[in-house]
Amino acid sequence: MERLVPVFYGNYGKYISRFRAIPYHIDIFRPVERRMLLSLYDVARNKFVKSAKVVGHCMGNYHPHAEAYGTLVRLVKTGFAIGQGNWGSIGLEEDPPAAMRYTEVKLDPKFEELAFKYIKYVPWKEYEFALEPEYLPSPIPLGLVGNTGVNQGIAFHRTSIPTFTIQDLFYALYIVLGIEKNEEFKLLPYLIGHEIIEYDYNYYYTGKGYVTFRPIVVQGKDKKQVELRGVPQSKSKFYKFIENNNLEIYDYTSKDIKIVIKGNRKIDLQKLDQAISNKISYDILLVDEAGHVFRKSVEKIIIDTYESYKNAYANFLNDSIQKLEERISELMIIKKIKEVLRKKSINSIEELHKSIPDVPLDRLKQITDKYSIRRLVNIEVNIPQVTMEKEETEKRLNFLNRSIKQEIKKVAKSFV
C-alpha cells in the first residue's frame, strides 16, 4: 500500500488537474470551458437553442461531469455566447439564472471567427469520449478574456489567473510581435466597475503578482451620498462598514452596476475606500498535456498561444495548397475529357481511356464517378485562375509572419 497509494493518488491528481480543474497552458481554458465552447460550435452556431440541449451535448459527447451549466452561464456573462431568457442578475445580491430548460443560447459569431476558423488544423484527441481539439486555435489566449479580474481553479494545486479585456490582449500581442511600440503600456486585469489602485506587475513576467481593485466611487453634491459602479469583492467587510456608520444601501443595478450609499452626515471616503478595496493575488499555475502543473507568465502565455495559432494557420495554408494542386490536376483531366466529348460520342470509360491514354484509368473513373457527363461538359475549366490562387496561397505561406499579422488585424477589428 505504501508503494501503490502514492502512484494511484498521483495519477488521480494528474487526471483532476488535466481534465477538471486547471486551465491548459495554451488557450488557458479548463476542459469544461473548451468543451462547452465546442458544443456551442456544434449545435448552437447559427441559431438559438435550448441551453439544456447544449449542456446535454457537452456532457454526452465530451465532458461526463456535472458542472456544465454553470460554465455555460459564465460564458454568456463573459461574452463568448449570446443568451436569451433569465441568465441571472448582477449587483450586491445576485439572482441565479433560470434552469437550463428555460434559457436559450448561441455562440457569438465573432468568437466563431476567432476560435474556430482553423479548428481542423490543431491536434484532435480522444480524451474521455469523442474526439476533441487539444486547444482552440486563437491568436490570443481566450481563457484570459474576462470581466471578473480572476479565473480560479482548485485541485491538488490552486491557481489564480488574471483576466483582461479582449482589446488589451490584442494590443499586448501587437507589442510582442512588434506591430505596435508602446513602452508605457501595461496589460492590467479588468474587473467590471472597478479601478486599479496598486499592482505588482510580476504576474506578466513571472506568473506571480497582485492587483488591488476598488469599485469606482462617484460622490454626490451634498457628500452624504455616494455611488459605487462595481460590487465590492469583500461583501462582509463592506456590510460591516455600512452597519458601523449607520448607512443605507440602495441597489439600482440593471445593465450597469449602480449601488447607492446614503447617510445622515458626510460619508468618510477614506474609511469607505478601506472597506471596498480588495487585493487579489495571482499565481498562474497551468497544466500541460501530460498532466504536469507549472507556473507560467502572462507574457509566455501570449507568445505560446500565438505560436500554436501560427502552426494551425500554416497547416491550413499547406492543406489549401494541396487541395488547389489537386484541383488543377483535376481540371487538366476534365479539359481533356471535354475535348474528346466535343469530337465524338463515348459509350464507356474504357473507350474514353483509349482516347486519353496518358490519364490513368482509375483516375478517369474517380472523375466520372464524381461528376455526371452533363456536369463535366458544363464545368468551367479556368486553370490560370486556380493556379493564381495557389501561387497567392504559397506566397502567404512563404511570408507567414507578415500574412498572419494581417490575418490577426482583420480578426481584431470585430472587437474594436
| Residues belonging to the active site | 102
List b or e across 173-199, with b for residues whose CB sees 16 or more CB atoms inside 10 angstroms: bbbebeeeeeeeeebbbbbbbbeeeeb
CA distance 402 to 414: 20
Looking up cell 460550435 gives 41
> What does each C-alpha distance from 12 to 17, 154, 390 come to in angstroms?
9, 14, 49
Please say whether the beta carbons of 225 and 261 come within 8 A. Answer: yes
CA distance 249 to 227: 10
CA distance 356 to 341: 11
Residue 250 backbone phi and psi in degrees, to 5: -130, 120
Give the number of other Cβ atoms within 10 Å of residue 78's Cβ.
17
List b or e across 373-385, with b for residues whose CB sees 16 or more CB atoms inside 10 angstroms: eeebeeeebeeee
260 Cβ contact partners less than 8 Å away, ≥ 6 residues apart = 225, 226, 227, 228, 249, 250, 251, 252
Q: Which of 56, 61, 54, 65 is nearest to 32 (CA)?
A: 65
CA distance 83 to 85: 7
